[in-house]
Amino acid sequence: MNAVRLLEYGGQLVFNDVPTPTIARDEILVKIKSTAVNHLDLVEASGTLRQILAIDLPWIPGHEFSGVVEQIGSDVAGWAPGAAVFGTSEKGAYAEYLAAKPAAIARKPANLSFEEAASVPVAAQTAWEGLFTHGHLEKGQTILIHGGAGAVGAYAVQLASHAGATVIATASRGDEAYLNSIGASRVIDYREAQFEKALREKVDVVFDLIGGDTQKRSFLVLKKGGHLVAATQPVSPEETARHGVSGAMMRLAPSADMLGRIARLLEEGTIRPDVATVYALQDAAEAWKDIAGNLPGVHGMSPSGPDGPRPARRRAHGKIVLRVA
């Protein structure tokens, strides 16, 4: 099969022929239609965090996909060849075939294209877990979402709004109308205003998709007993104790059940996906260049630092998708 691979840390992506994976008894062979690019792919490939994000070289990147079930392992129940699916995988999805675990896939929403479906699993499940598993968000509460116009943030805004919360988001000024259209009641321009000064009332939950100084200042806007959920860097236990809040850095733990619930919300039109750009699989290196300048505090690795000066948005909302077949 054709696949994109990284041969050495920090090296170029190469597109060539590799053996098609064989499946274990508890796996499903998926013929991939589309996959999506995540910041994590680039961080893993750089090798900068290899102590905690180790990869086996040569390595096929890609943590999410959409496709069609091709073959079923003998221990797998509930799936049949031909089913359209989407999901996450520990194994690389920048390829024509993938051996996937049933515990991390769900039926593709019928109203979504394969390109749209591939853009959903990581961002939407990160948002879901951030809000509900770690943030314990409830109807009637107020949440502040940092980076609300990004891929994860847009799902967080939609899911929080659907759950009956009041949603405040930080973003660039140009994203205000977009964020209002998906459920934010207030948008604070992070380039122009300090959110802790702009906010009159404290919030129940902060979902921090930025880190750095943004995270530090977030303690000032949380109610006592509130929750700070971070997606990019650990939360200081000293600061959480000092402010009487809980704080945790989340790491996505995908599940078929959660993805299935997200699929239903997508199918009924309650939430929607956004695809910024579609590249062909063999142009993955171009897609990486597209995202590389837009890494807001990926575990503190942004070239300009998490809150440093950044160029204005260069691309449309949503994920960068790679079309495989």
Ligand X SMILES: NC(=O)c1ccc[n+]([C@@H]2O[C@H](COP(=O)([O-])OP(=O)(O)OC[C@H]3O[C@@H](n4cnc5c(N)ncnc54)[C@H](OP(=O)(O)O)[C@@H]3O)[C@@H](O)[C@H]2O)c1
Residues that bind ligand X (CB under 6 A): 39-40, 122-123, 126, 146-147, 149-153, 170-172, 190, 209-210, 214, 231-232, 250-252, 294, 296-298, 307, 310, 313
Q: What is the DSSP letter of 97?
A: E
For 105, phi then psi, to 5°, come to: -125, 160
Nearer to ligand X, 85 or 229 (CB): 229
Q: How far is the CB of 114 from ligand X (least distance, A)?
A: 20
Residue 89, token pair as written in the block: 């995988």
Question: In which element (H, E) is residue 213 found?
Answer: helix 213-218
Shortest approach of ligand X to residue 1 CB, angstroms?
27
The CB-of-151 to ligand X minimum distance in angstroms stands at: 4
Beta strands in the chain (DSSP E): 2-6, 13-17, 28-36, 64-72, 84-88, 97-100, 105-107, 142-146, 166-171, 186-189, 203-208, 222-230, 246-249, 275-280, 319-323
Shortest CB 47 distance to ligand X, Å: 16
Q: How far is the CB of 260 from ligand X (least distance, A)?
A: 19
Given the complex with ligand X, which of 127 and 265 has the nearer CB atom? 127
Cβ closer to ligand X: 95 or 209?
209
Q: Which is nearer to ligand X, 149 or 167 (CB)?
A: 149
Question: Which of residues 107 and 310 has its CB atom nearest to ligand X in the complex?
Answer: 310
Tokens of 97: 């075939």
Q: What CA–CA distances, in Å, run from 227 to 216, 234, 254?
A: 14, 14, 21
Min separation Cβ 38 and ligand X, Å: 6
Which residues, 6 or more positions from 152, have their beta carbon under 8 angstroms from its beta carbon?
Answer: 123, 126, 127, 130, 209, 231
Q: Which residue number, 23 or 278, has a Cβ lying nearer to ligand X?
A: 278
**Cβ closest to ligand X, residue 153 vs residue 226:** 153
Rank residues 26 and 289 by Cβ distance to ligand X and give the closer one: 289
- CB-based contact 213:196 (threshold 8 Å): no
C-alpha 212/C-alpha 193 separation (Å) is 16
Burial of 294 (0-12, 13-18, 19+ CB in 10 A): middle
Contact by Cβ (8 Å): 186, 203? no
Shortest reach from residue 34's CB to ligand X, in Å: 17
Closest CA to 267 of 137, 127, 116, 101: 116
3-state secondary structure of 266: helix
Count Cα atoms within 13 angstroms, Cβ side, for 242: 8
Between residues 171 and 256, which has the closer beta carbon with respect to ligand X?
A: 171
At closest approach, how far in Å is the CB of 156 from ligand X? 9
Indicate the residue whose CB is closest to ligand X. Answer: 150
- Least separation in angstroms between residue 198's CB and ligand X is 12
